Structure 1
Amino acid sequence: MARLLNHKKRQAMRYYNSKTINGKTFEEVRKSVEGALKDAGFGILTEIDLQKTMKVKLDKDYLPHTILGACNPVYADKVLSIDPSISTMLPCNVTIREIENEKHEVSTINPLFAMEGVGNAELRVHAGEIQDKLQGMLDRL
């Protein structure tokens, strides 16, 4: 029974959080996201330009869509100290995607959802703190 309840709880939790931003260019949104991430203690370790990648690899046209690999080194150190293999779940992905002209969606991974499957209560505490920081970043946009 407990397993079924955990499954239902996981299904109810979204794997990402997002915010739609209107009236700005992609680059303006990106600058806002980078500033808000920095204010929340995150740096950007990686960047994937999906628009460019899909064009080069599949000759498909996408609207601008970028994945930023964001890392808060303090929290990365905390979770790696608990479970070094958790590095498979780092960094936190933050995406910026153009929906239509001057309308963009900024999305972040929900670390609570991601860590739920690991089954370590100590990691969940930190995941909740990271979730709060990422949600705060979205709220500031």
Structure 2
Amino acid sequence: MEYRVNLCETPPQAVLRIPLEVRPDLLSEGIVSGMGRLSEVAEKAGLTANGAPMITFHRELPAEDAIVIDFGLPIEAAPALGPSSGAELVIQSPTLVARTSHRGGYGDIDAAYRALREWLQQAGYRPVGPPTEAYLIGPDEVSDPRLLSTEIRIPVSPAPAIAVHLPTAFPDAVERTRTVLRERGFGVVTEFDVQAALRERTGQHIEEYLILGICNPQLAGIALATDREAGLLMPCNVVVRADDTGVLVEAVDPTLLVQVLARPELATTAEEIRRMLAGALASLARPAAAAG
């Protein structure tokens, strides 16, 4: 199915929250049981629901071991709960989330999570909290899994980087990145092979990971003429690193320089560097897209 992703800010709300243990091999049964527990506690406490029940995963669901996940139910303001309920009332602050909806059973809900992760990479956002599933139509309401409707929400914030994903081999991605950066006026002044350094010096093994230090001499001169401390943030780092489906190329957002140094007069130069970097990474992605 097609997943549409959008950003929204969740409103402040009171939530009845109960941590419960769930087994991965009995996930549907665990969700139904948890929702029943939520309803039972809410009814005994005289609480009125004003939203869909939801669960929050604080870590990935393991293959075998049970984990504790938070079951939540948005409610109207109400009296305090007794300690024997095993639940608590919490006030959730407004939060920026990326969200999408999954229709159908939970066996293929991973596709919705993949769509969210791909959207975050392309839109320049990063997750800043655990995902939450809100059961708009849950298994406690219908027996036919085709009728289930689940909204997945991930708290996000703007990423401090410009990034592009390349479905290609690591050596090819590195060479293309060097070439495109030079064509766009950036000199590659340093290279640091993080994978090799960690393996040789600490014995640690990580994925292929290269840091390129780049600089545009003309724009660097303008920035230094404005503030000599601008050199502390030079050269600009570009990271090329392998992931499960290809290679991620990330460039630090140069507009951060303006924020760190609190020098608004650097804004024009920083925006120009960002425009050039964004253009370089965009052109880096085009051949791969055309080839697909």
**TM > 0.5:** yes
Q: Check if 1:137 corresponds to 2:277.
A: no
The 5 A counterparts of 1:111-130 are 111-130=254-273
Which whole-Å CA distance do the structure 2 matches of 1:66 and 1:98 have between them?
9
Identify unmatched segments of 5+ residues in structure 1.
1-10
The 5 A counterparts of 1:48-67 are 48-67=192-211
Contact 1:15 1:114 in 2 (8 A): no
Contact 1:13 1:113 in 2 (8 A): no
Cα offset, 1:17, TM superposition: 1.3
Cα offset, 1:13, TM superposition: 3.9
Q: Provide the residue aligned with 1:30 in structure 2.
A: 174
Residues 1:14 and 1:114: Cα distance change in structure 2 (over 3 Å): farther
Contact 2:170 2:208 in 1 (8 A): yes
The 5 A counterparts of 1:50-89 are 50-89=194-233
| Amino acid aligned to 2:268 | V
Which whole-Å CA distance do the structure 2 matches of 1:12 and 1:26 have between them?
28
Which whole-Å CA distance do the structure 2 matches of 1:115 and 1:53 have between them?
32
| Amino acid aligned to 1:125 | T
1:17 pairs with one of 158, 162, 168: 162
> Larger radius of gyration, structure 1 or 2?
2
Residues 1:13 and 1:119: Cα distance change in structure 2 (over 3 Å): farther
TM-score (norm 2): 0.43
TM-score (norm 1): 0.86
Cα offset, 1:124, TM superposition: 1.4
1:48-99 deviation per Cα after TM superposition (whole angstroms, max 9, x unaligned): 1000111122211111100000000011111011111211100010010011
Structure with greater proportional strand content: 2
Contact 1:14 1:113 in 2 (8 A): no
Higher relative contact order (CA 8 A, sep 6+): 1
| Amino acid aligned to 1:21 | L
| Amino acid aligned to 1:115 | V
Structure with greater proportional helix content: 1
Q: Provide the residue aligned with 1:106 in structure 2.
A: 249
Runs of 4+ aligned structure 1 residues displaced above 4 Å come to none
Q: How many residues align?
A: 129
Which whole-Å CA distance do the structure 1 matches of 2:199 and 2:250 have between them?
22
| Amino acid aligned to 1:58 | T
The DSSP-based 3-state class of the residue aligned with 1:106 is strand
1:22-41 deviation per Cα after TM superposition (whole angstroms, max 9, x unaligned): 0x221111111111101110
Cα offset, 1:136, TM superposition: 0.5
Q: Percent identity?
A: 26
Q: Provide the residue aligned with 2:190 in structure 1.
A: 46
Cα offset, 1:126, TM superposition: 0.5
Contact 2:191 2:211 in 1 (8 A): yes
Cα offset, 1:12, TM superposition: 4.7
